[in-house]
Amino acid sequence: MYKNSIVDEGQFIGYKLNGQGRQINTTKGDVSYYIGTFKDGKKNGVGTMTYLINGTTITGDWVNGKFTGECVG
C-alpha cells in the first residue's frame, strides 16, 4: 500500500465502481476501509466504513459518496 492512495476492488463500469465493492483509502493521514455499494465510483447505498486508527465503524446509508447519518443497526 502506498501513502496517499486509494485502492478500489469490485465491479467496474466505464472505469468506475458500480455495485458491490470495497475501497481502501490512505489519503487523509488515516487508513479507512469501506465495503458496500457504489454508483459511478462513489459510495451509494448501504455500506460500512471502518477507520483503522481508532477502530470507529459506521454502517448505514451513503449518497453520492457521503454518509447520510442514517445508521443501520
Is there a domain that residue 43 lies in?
Answer: yes
Is there a domain that residue 73 lies in?
Answer: no
Is there a domain that residue 12 lies in?
Answer: yes
Task: Please tell me the pTM assigned to this model.
Answer: 0.83
For residues 70 and 31, give the distance between their C-alpha atoms in angstroms, rounded to a whole number: 23
User: In 1-73, where do the E strands start and end?
Assistant: 6-13, 16-25, 32-39, 42-51, 57-63, 66-71
Residue 67 dihedral angles phi and psi, to the nearest 5°: -70, 130
Cβ-defined contacts of 20-27 (< 8 Å, 24+): 26/1, 26/2
Q: How many domains does the chain have?
A: 1
Q: Which domain holds residue 44?
A: 6-67
> pLDDT tens digits for 2-57?
567 888 999 999 999 999 999 999 887 778 999 999 999 999 999 999 988 888 89
Is there a domain that residue 49 lies in?
Answer: yes
pLDDT, residue 70, reads 65
Is there a domain that residue 1 lies in?
Answer: no
